[in-house]
Chain A
Amino acid sequence: MSGHHNETFITKYIFSQDHKMIAKQFLITGMIMAILGMLMSAVFRVQLANPGESSILYNLLPGGWVNELGALSPDKYLALVTMHGTILVFWVLTAGLSGTFANFLIPLQIGARDMASGFLNMLSYWFFFIATVILVWSIYVEGGPASGGWTIYPPLSALPQAIPGSGTGMTLWLISITLFVVGSLLGGLNYIVTILNLRTKGMSMQRLPLTVWALLVTAILGVLSFPVLLSCGLLLVFDRSFGTSFYLSDIVVNGEVLHHLGGSPILFEHLFWFLGHPEVYIILLPALGIISEVISVNARKPIFGYKAMVASILVIGFLSFIVWGHHMFMTGMNPFLGSVFTFTTLLIAIPSAVKVFNYLATLWRANIRFTPAMLFAIAGVSAFITGGLTGLILGDSALDINVHDTYFVVGHFHIVMGLSAIYGMLAGVYHWFPKMYGKMMNKNLGYVHFWGTFICAYGVFFPMHFLGLAGLPRRYYENTAFPMFDGLTDINSIITFFALSGAVVQVIFLFNFIYSIFKGTKTVQNPWKSNTLEWTTPIERIHGNWPGDLPSVHRWAYDYSKPGAEEDFILQTVPLKEGEKEEH
Chain B
Amino acid sequence: MTNILIALVVLLAIVTLVQLTRVSELLGELKKQDVNEVTDEDNKTQGFLMLIIGMGFLVFVIWQMIEWNHLLLPEAASVHGQEIDVLMRFSMTLILVVFFIVTPMLFYFSYRYRGNKQNTAYFLVHNNKLEFIWTIIPTIVLTGVIIFGLKTWDKAMNVDTSDSQEIEVFVKQFQWLARFPGEDNILGKSNFQLITPTNVLGIDEEDLNAEDDKIVREVHLVVNEPVVLKFRSQDVIHSAFLPHFRVQMNCVPGLSTQFAFTPTKTTAQMKKEEGEDFEYVLLCNKICGAAHYNMQMRFVVETQEEYDLWLAKQKTISDKLLTQK
A367-B119, A386-B103, A401-B248 known; A393 vs B293 contact (CB < 8 Å):
no
> Are the C-beta atoms of A306 and B126 separated by less than 8 Å?
yes
Complex Cα distance A132/B6, Å? 29
> Are the C-beta atoms of B103 and A511 separated by less than 8 Å?
no
Nearest CB of B to A57, in Å = 10
B128-139 Cβ-contact flags toward A at 8 Å (1 or 0): 001100110011
Which of B178-186, B212-220, B277-285, B314-322 has 4 or more CB atoms under 8 Å from chain A? B277-285
Query: How many residues of A are in contact with the other chain, CB < 8 A?
Result: 131
Known pairs A156-B288, A399-B91; list 14 more (Cβ under 8 Å).
A74-B291, A265-B254, A308-B131, A350-B138, A361-B124, A370-B114, A389-B99, A398-B83, A398-B149, A401-B84, A405-B285, A476-B292, A521-B36, A568-B121
B258: chain A residues within 8 A (beta carbon): 332
A74, A300, A398, A406: which contacts B285 (Cβ < 8 A)?
A: A406
Give me the interface of A with B, judged by CB distance under 8 Å: 56, 59, 73-75, 78, 148-149, 153-156, 159, 162-163, 248-253, 255, 257, 262-266, 299-302, 304-308, 330-332, 335, 338-339, 342-343, 346-347, 349-350, 353-354, 356-361, 363-371, 375, 378, 381-382, 385-386, 389-390, 392-393, 396-399, 401-402, 404-406, 440-445, 447, 451, 454-455, 458-459, 462-463, 466, 469-471, 473, 475-479, 481-484, 487-488, 491, 507-508, 511-512, 515, 519, 521, 558, 560-563, 568, 583-584
Nearest CB of B to A307, in Å = 7
A74, A263, A356, A397: which contacts B254 (Cβ < 8 A)?
A: A263
> Are the C-beta atoms of A451 and B49 separated by less than 8 Å?
yes
What are 28 A-to-B residue pairs whose CB atoms are below 8 Å? A248-B253, A248-B254, A249-B253, A304-B126, A306-B125, A306-B126, A332-B256, A332-B258, A346-B142, A347-B142, A353-B134, A354-B131, A357-B131, A366-B109, A375-B50, A392-B145, A401-B248, A405-B239, A444-B35, A462-B61, A470-B73, A476-B293, A477-B290, A478-B293, A487-B71, A521-B35, A561-B121, A561-B122
> Are the C-beta atoms of B113 and A366 separated by less than 8 Å?
yes
B57-70 Cβ-contact flags toward A at 8 Å (1 or 0): 10011001000101
A73, A398, A405: which contacts B84 (Cβ < 8 A)?
A: A398
When C-beta atoms are compared, the residue in chain B nearest to A158 turns out to be B236
B159-186 Cβ-contact flags toward A at 8 Å (1 or 0): 0000000000000110000000000000
B208 within 8 A of A: no
B192 within 8 A of A: yes
Complex Cα distance A354/B193, Å? 55
Nearest CB of A to B299, in Å = 12
B206 within 8 A of A: no
B64: chain A residues within 8 A (beta carbon): 462-463, 466
> Are the C-beta atoms of A368 and B115 separated by less than 8 Å?
yes
A78, A346, A402, A478: which contacts B246 (Cβ < 8 A)?
A: A402
A444: chain B residues within 8 A (beta carbon): 24, 35
> Are the C-beta atoms of B153 and A335 separated by less than 8 Å?
yes
> Are the C-beta atoms of B115 and A56 separated by less than 8 Å?
no
Complex Cα distance A68/B81, Å? 44
Contact-residue bracket for chain B = 35 or more
> Are the C-beta atoms of B135 and A354 separated by less than 8 Å?
yes
A331, A359, A378, A482: which contacts B296 (Cβ < 8 A)?
A: A482
A359, A392, A440, A562: which contacts B91 (Cβ < 8 A)?
A: A392
B21 within 8 A of A: yes
A253-B235, A475-B292 known; A396 vs B99 contact (CB < 8 Å):
no
B13, B153, B248, B285: which contacts A507 (Cβ < 8 A)?
A: B13
A255, A445, A471: which contacts B243 (Cβ < 8 A)?
A: A471
Interface of A is mostly: helix
Task: Please give me the 3 A-B residue pairs with the lowest Cβ-Cβ distance, nearest first.
Answer: A249-B254, A332-B257, A471-B243
> Are the C-beta atoms of B3 and A56 separated by less than 8 Å?
yes
> Are the C-beta atoms of A356 and B102 separated by less than 8 Å?
yes
> Are the C-beta atoms of A149 and B153 separated by less than 8 Å?
no
B195 within 8 A of A: yes
A74-B290, A521-B34 known; A451 vs B53 contact (CB < 8 Å):
yes
A445-B21, A470-B73 known; A440 vs B36 contact (CB < 8 Å):
yes
> Are the C-beta atoms of A401 and B255 separated by less than 8 Å?
no
> Are the C-beta atoms of B134 and A332 separated by less than 8 Å?
no
Complex Cα distance A512/B17, Å? 9
B98 within 8 A of A: yes
> Are the C-beta atoms of A367 and B99 separated by less than 8 Å?
no
A156-B289, A257-B195 known; A342 vs B120 contact (CB < 8 Å):
no
B13-57 Cβ-contact flags toward A at 8 Å (1 or 0): 110011001101100100000111110001100110110011001
B323 within 8 A of A: no
A445: chain B residues within 8 A (beta carbon): 17, 21
When C-beta atoms are compared, the residue in chain B nearest to A307 turns out to be B126
> Are the C-beta atoms of B46 and A447 separated by less than 8 Å?
yes
A350, A359, A475, A568: which contacts B287 (Cβ < 8 A)?
A: A475
Max count, chain B CB within 10 A of own CB: residue among A154, A359, A442, A558: A442
B125: chain A residues within 8 A (beta carbon): 302, 304, 306, 558, 583-584
Complex Cα distance A307/B149, Å? 32
When C-beta atoms are compared, the residue in chain A nearest to B14 turns out to be A511
B145: chain A residues within 8 A (beta carbon): 346, 392, 396
B2: chain A residues within 8 A (beta carbon): 56
A248, A301, A359: which contacts B121 (Cβ < 8 A)?
A: A301
B92 within 8 A of A: yes
B249 within 8 A of A: yes
Interface residues of B in 236-290 (CB under 8 A from A): 236-237, 239, 241, 243-244, 246-250, 252-258, 277-279, 281, 283-290
B36, B38, B150, B285: which contacts A442 (Cβ < 8 A)?
A: B36
> Are the C-beta atoms of B281 and A482 separated by less than 8 Å?
yes
Nearest CB of A to B92, in Å = 7
Complex Cα distance A404/B249, Å? 10
Nearest CB of A to B170, in Å = 11
A382: chain B residues within 8 A (beta carbon): 54, 57, 103, 106-107
